[in-house]
Copies of this chain bind each other. A is one copy, B any other.
Amino acid sequence: MASQAPAIPGFRPLYKQVKQLLLERLIGGFWKPGDLLPSEFQLAAELGVSQGTVRKALDEMTAENMLVRRQGRGTFVAEHDQEHALFHFFKMTDRQGQPLVPESRVLRRSLGTARKEEATRLQIEAEAAVIRITRIRSIAGKPVIFERLTLPHQIFPGLNDGRELPNTLYTLFARDYGITVGKAVEKLRAVPASAEVARHLDLERHHPLLEIDRVALALDGQPVEWRISLCHTEDTAYSVTLA
């Protein structure tokens, strides 16, 4: 009676299959950020598994920041706005470690074809259409970050029209395109300021800048953004917690 009822046939553990199925619904946009999922019992009944199995899948997805559980209310699709995005992907702080929120001003925005390195980083075809954005980010009115972004046009159609760009792009990704950034891989270096960047950040040439080279990945692992941020870290720092 308590043995496995193979309601979903296949090799992998039942709860992994449930997780995969739920993940596909998230990626496919069937459920959007902020949506309330059916209860554990409803999902269990629909999929023909026990509540505990559904729970294990939901637990894993919660641990991976894809879902948020609220006792007494239900399980929701994570909204990568404000809080989470802020603390997980925009980690600029002051020297004491207090979080800072830089404002953004777009310098350029254009549509073009992917150069070799852009295509490699974003795992798209060479010459595929891409959107490029250059912007300056300021803290307390003082420009501190010079940033270049490349986005696959296929994933973000219409982003290159006149639309206003919000301060935190990832909220726009989630709201308008149903894309949740779940992971980012970064390479950090120290580099001297070029003439152009020095001018924009009001520095001398060769001033040391923190270069953050980031590829952001959607929940399904697909690269959705490549950005290089050049940060003036005189009064700020980039904070990371390793665990």
Q: How long is the Cα–Cα vector from A239 to B242 in the complex, in angstroms?
A: 11
List of B residues within 8 angstroms of A192 by Cβ: 208
Known: A190-B233, A208-B191, A209-B190. A185 touches B93 (CB 8 A): no
Known: A208-B209, A213-B237. A243 touches B191 (CB 8 A): no
Closest B residue by C-beta to A97: B187
List of B residues within 8 angstroms of A186 by Cβ: 239-242
Closest B residue by C-beta to A89: B242
Stoichiometry (number of copies): 2
- Interface flag for A128 (CB, 8 Å): no
Chain B nearest CB from A12 CB (Å) reads 15
Q: How long is the Cα–Cα vector from A64 to B192 in the complex, in angstroms?
A: 38
- Interface flag for A188 (CB, 8 Å): yes
Q: What 1/0 mask marks residues of chain A from 208 to 243 whose CB sits below 8 Å from any chain B CB? A: 111101000000000000000001010011111111
List of B residues within 8 angstroms of A1 by Cβ: none
- Interface size in chain A (residues, C-beta < 8 A): 35
List of B residues within 8 angstroms of A191 by Cβ: 190, 208, 233
- Interface flag for A183 (CB, 8 Å): yes
Q: How long is the Cα–Cα vector from A191 to B238 in the complex, in angstroms?
A: 13
Max chain B Cβ within 10 angstroms of own Cβ: one of A183, A192, A231, A242: A242
Q: Are B64 and A189 in contact (CB under 8 A)?
A: no
What are 26 A-B pairs with beta-carbon distances under 8 A?
Answer: A63-B63, A64-B243, A65-B243, A89-B242, A183-B241, A184-B241, A184-B242, A185-B240, A185-B241, A186-B239, A186-B240, A186-B242, A188-B210, A188-B233, A189-B210, A189-B233, A189-B236, A190-B208, A190-B210, A190-B231, A190-B233, A191-B208, A206-B206, A208-B208, A208-B209, A240-B240
The 7 closest A-B pairs by CB, nearest first: A208-B208, A189-B233, A190-B208, A187-B237, A190-B190, A190-B210, A188-B238
